[in-house]
Amino acid sequence: MGDPTDKDLQTKEMDIRSLSSSQHRTQSCPRIHKVGVPPKQSLLKEFTATVKETLLADDPLRAFKGQSRSRKFTLGMQTIFPILEWGQDYNLTKFRGDLIAGLTIASLCIPQDIGYAKLANLPPQYALHSSFVPPLIYAFMGSSRDIAIGPVSMVSLLLGTLLKNEIDPYANAAEYLRLAFTATFFAGITQVTLGFFRLGFLIDFLSHAAIVGFMGGAAITIALQQLKGFLGITKFTKKTDIVSVMKSVWGSVHHGWNWQTIIIGVAFLAFLQFAKFIGKKNKKFFWVPAIAPLISVILSTFFVYITRADKQGVQIVKHIEKGINPSSLNEIYFSGKYSIKGFKIGVVAGMIALTEAAAIGRTFASMKDYQLDGNKEMVAIGTMNIVGSMTSCYVATGSFSRSAVNNMAGCQTAVSNIVMSFIVFLTLLFITPLFKYTPNAILAAIIISAVLGLMDYETPILIWKIDKFDFVACMGAFLGVIFVNVEIGLLIAVAISFAKILLQVTRPRTALLGRIPRTTIYRNIQQYPEASKVPGILIVRVDSAIYFSNSNYIKERILRWLTDEEEQLKAAYQPNIQFLIVEMSPVTDIDTSGIQALEELHRSLQKRDIKLVLANPGPVVIDKLHASDFANVIGEDKIFLTVADAVLTCSPKLTEEV
């Protein structure tokens, strides 16, 4: 081809100018798009979609579609028993890690269990029973690789407190034990029910801040309860609040404290804390704080035995019943007044146990980047507690301290729980008589050392910086536990969490919007001071769904914005408001009360000669606006895709400024 002529160049130049001019006109006068209306759905289809999204968002039956009958059976068994799935790839390398981890957490759990049994006001063997059967069940049914199962301090204290309110554990030990098994049974039923019906989201109503406060208060309460064994006090208050405990402690200082017991307690508490320090200082020595409790028990028991310090007033464990878990099925109350009491206690204990297990499981799953099925976890934990209630166990769940040690020891799968369970089995068969001379002071020291890790000082400070209302929830739960009791602290935590939800629902945020200079972007004028208001137009954004609970407030809040703006304009001798634009992109849903509130707002604006304009309503909202005929009332030409479209239509002069 030859070189282009001058005529060709001129033609191309004209085409370029024409295209540039066309683009300029398009940018200057952007096309106004209409808001789309989604196709109508039947009531059944809409209800089914809502239920599926709420309860079956992960579509648990997806893997079964298009599979043969035998494959469906295999998948079904793997769903119930995840060990059948990951067990196919199990090898000697993984077992070596699980063996070391299992032995390590076993050395930690045995002395801890004996101490936790005292929190639950139960004989020590029942805590050991709870570290034998439940971990075995969980290993086959659980989906977490890192959770170590057994009794935990917080649930033990909660269970002991609630049970003691119904039956005296010393005057009626047999009835108390039966009520403990009953509560454990119903705790398991609660957990399985939540998992089976996929209602795990219910435990999320207890906010993180409330849990932090509750755990901090429980940690202090548990530590205070150990002062009885730590100081050798024989007569001690049955109440758990800090005032009653301190009165009991200082009231017995001259005639109730035992100096030999105090020396044992202080010495080994210092040893345990030093072991923790070594473990934190160098991660290679993670096993030092894990094995320190067992070493403490062995040394203190040997010391008491050779010196016969028990003759000098040092309280000892005495008898721990030998043998594996006997059946307790006939001990559970399935009828009568105690069955109702056991049900109530079990529901509370079961929910708290689930909350703790969920927090642990999510933490380690996030660290190791694997998926955790929350509903499977609930079914697994519930099943192990149901079986546990029938085999002389009380409520078990995931333990913070043991799970951390399990992870640091290099566990690969839930087989570490099986190893731990086997060691506890051998202990129950052969070793329990050796704990006869174990001093109560060492058990108190072990528990105090364990719960000190639950006292988190940094998180409440962070909560204060982020959300003051969350801090109120945190401190309410904390103060309720330490100054009243565990139940009141839990009740306060739940009440404040619900109060926060109600406050956010009934009093949602609204904001005035202004235009960012030289753009068509509209943002909150408090966040962006440079954003300018549009003359004659008030733009308000509603940051919430509009329901019966907040519709009246939203209407009144918008009218207050309007009144305040009109007063300012009047004082400045500026033109009145002609249009009110409501930005509805954050409004995810609206009900009949919300529609009625918009109708009332529309009528109020008509009296002021102001037009109501809506911008960017979502599919659910626009569908309901048309169904209620409100879209026709204000006019479909008053509903726009964006705030910019609405402003350009209401104030054409702005086109030239952008």
pLDDT in tens, 511-532: 999 999 989 899 999 999 999 9
Joined together, the tokens standing for residue 556 give 């009144």
Q: Tell me the torsion sign for CA atoms 643, 647, 650, 652.
A: negative
Q: Which among 501, 520, 548 is the end of a domain? A: 501
Regarding whether 418 and 329 lie in a shared domain, the answer is yes
Give the span between the Cα atoms of 658 and 609, in whole angstroms. Answer: 28
pLDDT of residue 287: 86
pLDDT tens digits, 263-287: 999 999 999 999 999 988 888 888 8
Q: Which of 137-141, 279-283, 297-301 has the lowest mean pLDDT?
A: 279-283
At residue 331, does pLDDT exceed 90? yes
Give the span between the Cα atoms of 584 and 89, in whole angstroms. Answer: 52
Q: Which of 36-45, 297-306, 319-328, 427-436 has the lowest mean pLDDT?
A: 36-45
Pairing of strands 579-583, 537-542: parallel
At residue 196, does pLDDT exceed 60? yes
Joined together, the tokens standing for residue 573 give 């001798």
At residue 10, does pLDDT exceed 60? no
Give the span between the Cα atoms of 587 and 654, in whole angstroms. Answer: 27
pLDDT of residue 272: 93
Q: Which of residues 600 and 73 earns the better pLDDT score?
A: 600
Closest CA to 384 of 364, 399, 404, 398: 398
Regarding whether 461 and 546 lie in a shared domain, the answer is no
Give the span between the Cα atoms of 599 and 625, in whole angstroms. Answer: 11
Main-chain phi, psi angles of 75, to 5 degrees: -65, -35
Is residue 9 in a domain?
no
Is residue 48 in a domain?
no
Q: Is 412 helix (H, G, I), strand (E, B) or coil?
A: coil
Per-residue pLDDT, averaged over 601-623, amounts to 93
pLDDT of residue 103: 92
Q: For residue 39, what are the contacts with CB-CB under 8 A and spacing of at least 6? A: none
- In angstroms, what CA-CA distances link 324 with 130, 133, 139, 236, 427? 11, 10, 19, 32, 9
Regarding whether 602 and 476 lie in a shared domain, the answer is no
At residue 482, does pLDDT exceed 80? yes
pLDDT of residue 31: 62
Give the span between the Cα atoms of 315 and 399, in whole angstroms. Answer: 28
pLDDT of residue 652: 57
Give the span between the Cα atoms of 249 and 257, in whole angstroms. Answer: 9
Closest CA to 482 of 250, 226, 220: 220
At residue 498, does pLDDT exceed 90? no
pLDDT of residue 48: 67
pLDDT tens digits, 548-574: 999 999 999 999 999 999 999 999 888
Regarding whether 563 and 427 lie in a shared domain, the answer is no
At residue 49, what is the residue type?
A: A
Find the CATH number of the domain harbouring 569: 3.30.750.24
At residue 630, does pLDDT exceed 80? yes
Closest CA to 96 of 362, 416, 310: 416
pLDDT of residue 373: 80
Is residue 42 in a domain?
no
For 374-405, b/e burial (b = at least 16 CB within 10 A) is: bbbbbbbbbbbbbbbbbbbbbbbbbbbbbbbb
Q: Which among 501, 525, 544 is the end of a domain? A: 501
Per-residue pLDDT, averaged over 504-510, amounts to 89
Regarding whether 391 and 481 lie in a shared domain, the answer is yes
Is residue 68 in a domain?
no
At residue 32, does pLDDT exceed 70? no
Tell me the pLDDT band of 312, cut-offs 50, 70 and 90: confident
Our count of domains for the chain comes to 2
Residue spans of beta strands (DSSP E) within 349-429? 397-398
Q: Which of 196-205, 355-364, 418-427 has the lowest mean pLDDT?
A: 196-205
At residue 460, does pLDDT exceed 80? yes
Regarding whether 194 and 307 lie in a shared domain, the answer is yes
Regarding whether 493 and 517 lie in a shared domain, the answer is no
Q: Tell me the torsion sign for CA atoms 301, 305, 307, 309.
A: positive
Give the rounded distance of the alpha carbon of 349 from its chain centre. Answer: 15
Beta bridge partner(s), residue 613? 581
pLDDT of residue 42: 64
Joined together, the tokens standing for residue 508 give 């949602």
Q: At what angle do helices 440-451 and 259-281 cross, to 10 degrees?
A: 40
Regarding whether 340 and 325 lie in a shared domain, the answer is yes
Tell me the pLDDT band of 591, cut-offs 50, 70 and 90: very high
Regarding whether 311 and 267 lie in a shared domain, the answer is yes
Per-residue pLDDT, averaged over 300-327, amounts to 91
Is residue 70 in a domain?
no
Tell me the pLDDT band of 41, cut-offs 50, 70 and 90: low
Is residue 252 in a domain?
yes
Highest mean pLDDT range out of 117-121, 181-185, 222-226, 348-352? 181-185
At residue 337, does pLDDT exceed 80? yes
Regarding whether 326 and 178 lie in a shared domain, the answer is yes
Residue 53 burial (CB count, 10 A): 9
pLDDT of residue 26: 41
pLDDT tens digits, 51-90: 655 555 555 566 666 677 888 888 888 888 999 988 999 9
Q: Which domain holds residue 611?
A: 508-657
Give the span between the Cα atoms of 138 and 149, in whole angstroms. Answer: 8
At residue 395, does pLDDT exceed 90? yes
At residue 595, does pLDDT exceed 80? yes
Give the span between the Cα atoms of 194 and 354, in whole angstroms. Answer: 10
Per-residue pLDDT, averaged over 457-474, amounts to 90
Q: Tell me the torsion sign for CA atoms 303, 309, 313, 317.
A: positive
Is residue 638 in a domain?
yes
Q: Which among 486, 501, 516 is the end of a domain? A: 501
Residue spans of beta strands (DSSP E) within 467-578? 510-515, 522-524, 537-542
pLDDT of residue 551: 94
Regarding whether 216 and 179 lie in a shared domain, the answer is yes
Joined together, the tokens standing for residue 575 give 């033109």
Query: What is the percent of the chain where pLDDT is above 90?
Result: 55
Tell me the pLDDT band of 23, cut-offs 50, 70 and 90: very low
Is residue 154 in a domain?
yes
Give the span between the Cα atoms of 358 and 362, in whole angstroms. Answer: 6
Residue 489 burial (CB count, 10 A): 28
- Residue 288 burial by Cβ neighbours in a 10 Å radius (0-12, 13-18, 19+): middle
Regarding whether 526 and 477 lie in a shared domain, the answer is no
At residue 575, does pLDDT exceed 60? yes
At residue 33, does pLDDT exceed 50? yes
Note whether 186 and 335 are within 8 A (CB): no
Per-residue pLDDT, averaged over 190-214, amounts to 82
At residue 638, does pLDDT exceed 80? yes
Per-residue pLDDT, averaged over 311-339, amounts to 92
Pairing of strands 611-615, 639-640: parallel
